[in-house]
Amino acid sequence: MRWGIAGYGDVVERRVLPALRALGEEPVRLWGRDGGRAVRVAARHGVPVGGADVDMLIRDVDAVYVATPVVHHVPLAVHVLRAGLPVLVEKPLAGALGVGAGVGVDGLPCAGVAYYRRLAPAVRRLREELRGWTPERVEVRFRCAFDPGPGHPMRWRTDPALSGGGVLADAGSHRLDLLHLLFGRPEEVRARLGRRFPEGAERLAEVELRWASGTRALVRAEWSGEPPEDRFEVSGGGRTLTLDPLDSGRLHRHGAGGERQLTLPPAPNPHQPLIADFVAAVAAGRPPVCPFGQARLVDEVLVAAEHSDAAGGSPVPLPLPADGPSLDRAGAQAPSSADQARSHRGSGVSD
């Protein structure tokens, strides 16, 4: 397929473009808010056309990958889908921006969100191990260093109006998606968000999710200079399953039968199986590994976490599943020139 790419940050150069090339796909358009930078990145990677014209992005292509700051994810996806093209969007869909995340996509082209950990072999094995077992507790812990100063190309991620939140939307969104994959939508969220940047994004998020089944998950996501951590542990009934680090591919099992460790390495470039799945989904007319309808559950939690924190950590019930307005009624548009000027800096995405 011929691809248009929206964005030119680290995730595009280091993962998306190499994955497309490895799969025999053809990137032919590269769009960015800074047209000059888009042209330079396109030339560096052998993409024929680059620029800031959003209509150029969808001209003579078969699909589009969106990897911009979060504020533009839904508007660009709507623009692409209205042109009758499949779209794959970076995470989260809209974060806690609360606008446009619930758009419906029934009857429209294939639309997916880049929660690539769903395809990791160790995660798939963990899902198999959970069949027939309802754990009591899940503990998710993530920590890495992130403290961009003024003028840093990643400073936009500290402004919730562009990023849709702080560490919870940025890195926590992947972990929240895994919780949805394994257990479905929770019924209650409690959260405290703290140590905020001057622009408003939190450096620390402590979130508790509860399911009707009795399962409870505690999620702690943090940007700090302390030693890095990335742990996903499920336990109950004398049995524990742990991925530590989450992306190591090492699944540790502890229970009545003793201990065992399985090693199921992930792909060196996790975007390669993600894009391969999306290409296959388009060809087969099936949903991608994470369709919009499932991805927006993460955004529900992000919004609920903000409301809970504002209420001093009080519980916030999540809404029952409901169809959002159709794309034709959503009123979303391509990014305005004012939006483009406001968020002209880099569009890399962290994990």
pLDDT at 279: 98
CA distance 190 to 192: 7
Tokens describing residue 303: 């919004």
pLDDT at 256: 83
pLDDT in tens, 284-330: 999 999 999 999 999 999 999 999 999 999 999 997 335 443 333 23
Q: Residue range 155-163: average pLDDT?
A: 96
Q: How many CB atoms lie within 10 A of CB 282?
A: 19
pLDDT in tens, 176-201: 999 999 999 999 999 999 999 999 99
Q: Model confidence at 276, in pLDDT bands (50, 70, 90)?
A: very high
pLDDT at 106: 56
pTM above 0.75, yes or no: yes
Whether the pLDDT of residue 82 is over 50: the answer is yes
Beta bridge partners of residue 235, listed in sequence order: 137, 240
Q: How many CB atoms lie within 10 A of CB 350?
A: 14
Q: Look at 69-83, 100-114, 151-165, 315-329 and tell me which has the smallest mean pLDDT.
A: 315-329
Higher local confidence (pLDDT), 310 or 256: 310
**Mean residue pLDDT across the chain:** 90
Phi then psi dihedrals of residue 285, to 5 deg: 70, 30
Q: Residue range 113-126: average pLDDT?
A: 98
Q: Model confidence at 100, in pLDDT bands (50, 70, 90)?
A: low
Whether the pLDDT of residue 350 is over 90: the answer is no
SS (H, E, C) the chain: CEEEEECCCHHHHHHHHHHHHHCCCEEEEEECCCHHHHHHHHHHCCCCEEECCHHHHCCCCCEEEECCCHHHHHHHHHHHHHCCCCEEECCCCCHHHCCCCCCECCCCCCEEECCHHHHCHHHHHHHHHCCCCCCCEEEEEEEECCCCCCCCCCHHHHCHHHHCCCHHHHHHHHHHHHHHHHHCCCCEEEEEEEEECCCCCEEEEEEEEECCCCCEEEEEEEECCCCCEEEEEEEECCEEEEECCHHHCEEEEEECCEEEEEECCCCCCCHHHHHHHHHHHHHHCCCCCCEHHHHHHHHHHHHHHHHHHHCCCCCEECCCCCCCCEHHHHCCCCCCHHHHHHCCCCCCCCC
Higher local confidence (pLDDT), 326 or 233: 233
CA distance 176 to 171: 9
